[in-house]
Structure 1
Amino acid sequence: MSLDPRVEQKVRDSFARQTMMQTLGATMAALGPGTCRITAPILPTSLQQQGAGHGGLSFSIGDSAAGYAALTLIPPEAEVMTVEMKINFMSPALGARLVAEGRVIRPGRRIMVVASDVWAEDEAGARRYVAVLQGTMIPV
């Protein structure tokens, strides 16, 4: 199933207004009904003290990927906001970039359960599972 072009434009316009994503160098790599993929380079300004990508980078793009996945499934006049989000880190974010793959687990009129998987990729495209996020979005 493909995404309505009007919905896709709304989501991409919203993403373009997120100055946090601009600061992180993030891009929206893919978008579909109930799914979204966001990538971000692991920049020298996004590292933690041991040289890996900071957990805040993983959280930021994971939260946004889940939120934009949710935005694809709600009425055109509505937006979404995160109510809560949990993250489990599984390995250091080492590589050239992070990839967050967001999805809607359960759409609802009042709340939406969402999740994201965050991967670190090296220049050759090899992946390492970095984090999993699960949370709740609310249409507003």
Structure 2
Amino acid sequence: MNDLESRIRTSFDRQSMMRTLGAVLAQVEPGRITITAPILPTVRQQHGAGHAGLAFSIGDSAAGYAALTLMPEDAEVMTVEMKINLMSPATGDRLLAQGRVIRPGRRVMVVAADVWAETGDRRKHVAMLQGTMIPV
């Protein structure tokens, strides 16, 4: 594990929300992050699909950590704003969020994330997020 991945994983491990959701930091690359989370019975909405809050939580974190990979070592990151488009019910075994940096900047970074629901080898695009992050 390189220094960048170690720094990102250490920060991610401090997020109690991600632990609560069962989320896992699956992949770390400069400007790109993948997070997965099971669609547990405790995170479903009234129709049985994964709640939009789950998709938003892991999508926001994937986008934020993608931004953090391009920031100085002593920086942390916070979301300034985030928009989500929910495109399909999140039905399946787990969600996978892939965050990426659209435009890096010193003060504000534009980021995005795509969220898929997966069952076995089937994948369905369920949400898109776009927002801005700020170093703190």
Alpha-carbon deviation of 1:12?
Answer: 0.2
TM-score by length of 1: 0.95
Q: Residues of 2 paired with 1:92 and 1:35: CA distance?
A: 25
Find 2:122's aligned residue among 86, 106, 126: 126
SS in 1 for 2:106: coil
Moved over 6 A (4+): none
Which residue of structure 1 lines up, in the alignment, with residue 111 of structure 2? 114
SS of the residue 1:76 aligns to: coil
1:86 matched residue in structure 2: 83
Q: What residue in structure 1 maps to residue 33 of structure 2?
A: 36
Task: State the Cα distance separating 1:105 from its structure 2 match.
Answer: 0.2
State the Cα distance separating 1:33 from its structure 2 match.
0.5
1:105 aligns with 2:120: no
Listed as ranges, the gaps of 5+ residues in structure 1 are: none
How far, CA to CA, are the matches of 1:129 and 1:12 in structure 2? 26
Corresponding residue for residue 17 of structure 1? 14
The residue number in structure 2 matching 1:135 is: 131
Question: Amino acid of the residue matched to residue 133 of structure 2?
Answer: M
Please report the RMSD computed on the Cα atoms of aligned residues, expressed in angstroms: 0.9
> How many positions carry a matched residue from both structures?
136
Q: Deviations along 1:86-124, whole A, 9 cap, x unmatched? A: 0000000000000000000000001000000000000x2
